[in-house]
Every structure is written in C-alpha cells, then in structure tokens.
Structure 1
Amino acid sequence: MRISFRASTSPTALAAYAALSDRYGDCPIRQAEVIVALGGDGFMLTTLHETQTLELPVYGMNCGTIGFLMNAYAEEGLPDRLREAEETVINPLAMHAVSASGRDHHALAINEVSLLRAGPQAAKLRISVNGRERMPELICDGALVCTPAGSTAYNYSAHGPILPIGSEVLALTAMAAFRPRRWRGALLPMNAEVRFDVLEGAKRPVMADADSRSFRDVVRVDIRSEPTIRHRILFDPGHGLEERLTHEQFT
C-alpha cells in the first residue's frame, strides 16, 4: 500500500513520523493511495484543506491533545488498519465575506463558519436564509453555521445541537444571545444559503472565521454547503464519525 505521511510540528508527531516512515516508507503524495495525518484535530483539518483537490482518503492518528477526527496511534499493523477502515465523506462550507473596505474574502470550512464580536460591544446581526430575512436583529457575542462533522466542536461548546452524519442539516447557533433573549439558533437544510449582515459595524466590529482563517471588519457573510468538494476520512471499524457523534451525546 502506498502511504503518504504528514506530521504536525509537535515532538510527538515528528517522532511518530520518523518511526512510521522508516517502517512503511513515505510515498510522494501524488503517487499515494492514502494519506496518514499525524497530529491532532487541528492538523487533520489542515491536511484535509491542503489535499482536497487530490480526493485521497485521509486516515488520522492521534499525536496531539484533541482527537475527535483521529484514530488511536499504534505503529503495528498500519496497512491492515487502512484496508479495514470505514470511510466517511463530508462536504465543507463555502464562505464569502465582504469587509468594510469592500474587499471580498473566500474560504472553506470543514467544521464551521463563525462571526464573532471584535470589540467591547456585542455584535448586531441581521440573518437571512435563502434570500428571505428571518431575524432582523440579533444582538450577541457571535453566531456560527456548522456542518454535522463540526457540530461537536465550537457549536457544541456554544450549546448547539449535535448533528448526525448524513442528516443533511446545518446548525445555526448563537453565542451568548442578548436579544432575542437566550435564542439558541435554528436547524436548516443542507442546501440553505445563510447571509449575515453586520449592523452598526463601525461601532460594533465583527470578524469572520472559517476553520481558523480569520477576516476582520466584515459587513456581510454568505455561507452555503459546497457539495462539489468531498473530504474522505477513514476511521477504524466501530469508531466511525457517526458512532462518535452518537457517543458524544451520552458522555
């Protein structure tokens, strides 16, 4: 099996890379059948973004502190684990943000696109879905739209729902909503197009973030699912993403 290894810069990941590449070889990525990412969830997201045009399956092994998208690390029997792994295909979100200067920003997000206040005052947002205004004013610390794969990340910390893989649903979740009081958000179909307009942006500046790619002083953010991009993630049998999402709700 032709394996291409990628490792984060942590000492643990680099040591794992040295051991695994010495044992199994390290194939150039364009000749590989599978990518093995060594690190934590953040490095896994980076690997998925950087290799998305190749559409190769990616198998993560946890060498970091957070490993929801990762499998347990073990040096033994890697080719057998890769052959037996279960594949989950996910689509990212596409974000188009416009800054106060008129500049356009485009980014993809596997987990979520979030809008966050960037000053001492709460953000003031207007929300439209599929071109129809749904909330004329939301005063909050921020709001996000997440995929099922990202629903246990920032979304869950903000008390948003966990979404099953294959549910064809996006979550729109508010952070510390002040008006409407305690509004938590909404569930939307996967093909929904969400638009946030930033109100009073000069007084209440807002930043947009797509999987840790940040853009400041935005005045409008459009978010939609991108079905033409497919991320193929491999998990050990019985430990797939669907099982992990279910398990997370009972812990």
Structure 2
Amino acid sequence: MAVSSRTPLLAFVSATTPTARAARASLEKRYGAVKPADADIIVALGGDGLMLQALHRNIKRQTPIYGMNLGTVGFLLNTYKETGLLQRLKRARQVTLTPLRMIAVNTRGKRHEVMAINEVSLLRSSRQTARIAVAVDGKKRLAELSCDGALVATPAGSTAYNLSAHGPILPLGAGLLALTPINAFRPRRWRGALLPRASKVELTILDPHKRPVAAAADSVEIPNVAKVTVTEATDIELTLLFDPEHDLEERILKEQFAP
C-alpha cells in the first residue's frame, strides 16, 4: 500500500441506511476519523452503489478506498467486520481502475463531460427504436444500429449492466473494453465487439428529435443526446483495496464459471 508505516488516517463514508449509519458511528468511535480530504484511506460502508459514489467523489484526490459490504451484492466490497480493520488494511491488495470519459453533446449543442467507472450507456427515451451510427477510432463500423441502446463497459463494469445485456466478462488485465448492444433489432445477429482499451468510440444518434436517446455515465444521465464519445481516462487512476481472499480479479474470473 502507498501509505507510511504509521497508523493510517481513516475517513468513513456510508450509505443512508440505518445499518450503515450505525456501523459508521461505531467504527469512527473505535478507530477515529478525519475528513475524506485529509485521509490516507477512505472506508466505504454500504453496497456497490455507495462504492461507485465514493469513487466518483474521490476522482480528484484518488485516495485508496476500502469498502465493506452492508448492501445487497457487494461485488466491489469486502466482508463487513468491525474488529481488526487496521490489520486488514495492512494486508489489503491494491486494484487500480481507470474510468471512462464520456463526452456527450445534446441536440442543442451543449457539451457534457462525465466519468464512468462501470459503463457508459445509451438508452432510447421513447417507444421508438433508437438508431445509432457506430465509429471506432474515426472509422465507421456500423452505419446504423437499430436497438434499445448500447453501452461501453470497463473490465470492472463488465459484470454489471454489460453482463445483463449479454455482454462479455472482461478480466481486469485484459486491456479491453466491451461494446455491447442492448436488444439489437438490426443488424439482428450483431452481439457487440471487444475493443482495445485505447479505442475512441463515437456513437452518433440518427434522427435524435424523432427518436430521442439519453446517455448515462454510471448514474449521471444526459437526456436528448446527439453524439457521445467514449475514451479511457488514462489521466485518472482509482485505487480499491481488497482482502486477499476477496480479490476483485478473482471475483471477475469466478463470474465466468458461475452456473
């Protein structure tokens, strides 16, 4: 871990549930607490949604985050236990995540830049099928994708929405992004693509006024987009800490063999 041998300064953040709030109060009393801006390590208490929030809020500071699951799935978190936290932090393994940078231009020409740890997704906003042109690194790959939407997922996010849309699971070290259609109508047999992590994906909405589409970077949604560009934000590195027995890379590998 990239901290000194002294006892690390800890900041605790929690979900709004009574259980998570009570755990936070107990941990702060036991270990002491500082503000996230002053912490060596941030401890997140909740589910995967809370962890994504903590990662987004920490993008500028890039402080290591250790999560403990007090939510439902907890894919990005460790098992909750109040005692032995300092020893667990000392033994923890680092996993570095690089988010996606979404640049979305809406139908009025306004530009939005948002980061995504899991995926950037486009979804139709009306009963009519979305029509999307797909280009990769400036070369048009699909003149028209008729679908409910499409998404670009990171390896860390490949087991989330991407997997539900029948996209591939990507090991953390694969150096790939997943481009996955959501209920593709035409080309009917197109199931998506695996792209090098350095790829620039451009998704242009065809007839955006008649067939409106919204774009989302994790939980941040931009309505009525005309064009969305997705690249890896190589200038940002986010560090997650995992107990050796809950290593994220091993979890992602296990998902490929889940019954």
Of 79, 83, 86, the match for 2:93: 86
1:238 shift after superposition: 2.6
Corresponding position: 1:32 with 2:42: no
Is 1:244 paired with 2:244?
A: no
Amino acid in the other structure paired with 1:120: R
User: Matches of residues 1-251 of structure 1 in structure 2 within 5 Å?
Assistant: 1=7, 2-251=9-258
How far does residue 28 in structure 1 lie from its aligned partner after superposition? Answer: 2.3
Deviation digits for residues 109-153 of structure 1 (CA, Å, limit 9, x no counterpart): 000000000000110000000001000000000000010000000
Deviations 1:151-208 (A, max 9, x none): 0000000000000001110000001000000321000000000000000111111000
For residues 252 and 80 of structure 2, what CA distance do their matches in structure 1 show? 20
User: C-alpha separation between the residues in 2 aligned to 1:31 and 1:200?
Assistant: 48
Q: Tell me whether 20-29 or 94-103 shows the greater mean CA deviation.
A: 20-29
Structure 1 partner of 2:3: none
Task: Give 3-state SS (helix, strand or coil) of 2:75's partner.
Answer: coil
- What secondary structure does 2:173 align onto? coil
After TM superposition, give the deviation of residue 27 of structure 1 in Å.
1.7
Match for 1:90: what amino acid?
L
CA separation in 1, counterparts of 2:189 and 2:33? 51
Task: Provide the residue aligned with 2:4 in structure 1.
Answer: none
Q: Structure 2: how far apart are the matches of 1:161 and 1:172?
A: 9
| Alignment gaps of 5+ in structure 2 | 1-6
In structure 1, distance between residues paired with 2:35 and 2:26? 17
- One-letter amino acid of the structure 1 residue matched with residue 113 of structure 2: H
Question: Take 1:225 and 1:28, find their aligned partners in 2: how far apart are those partners?
Answer: 29
Once the two structures are superposed, residues 229-248 of structure 1 have per-residue CA deviations (whole angstroms, 9 ceiling, x without a partner) of 00000010032111000111
Determine the C-alpha separation between the residues in 2 that align with 1:238 and 1:182: 39
Whole-angstrom distance in 2 between the partners of 1:233 and 1:142: 30
Q: Please state whether the residue corresponding to 2:178 is helix, strand or coil.
A: strand
Q: Distance in 2 between matches of 1:183 and 1:150?
A: 21
Q: Give the secondary structure class of the aligned counterpart of 1:144.
A: strand
* CA distance in 2 between partners of 1:212 and 1:52 (Å): 15
- Number of aligned positions between the proteins: 251
**What is the one-letter code of the residue matched to 1:32?**
A
Identity %: 53
Quick one: which amino acid aligns to residue 57 of structure 1?
A: P
CA contact (8 A) 1:146 1:170 kept: yes
Q: Secondary structure of 1:88's match?
A: strand
1:160 alignment partner, SS class: coil
Preserved contact between residue 176 and residue 182 of structure 1 (Cα < 8 Å): no
Q: Which runs of 4+ in 1 moved over 4 A?
A: none
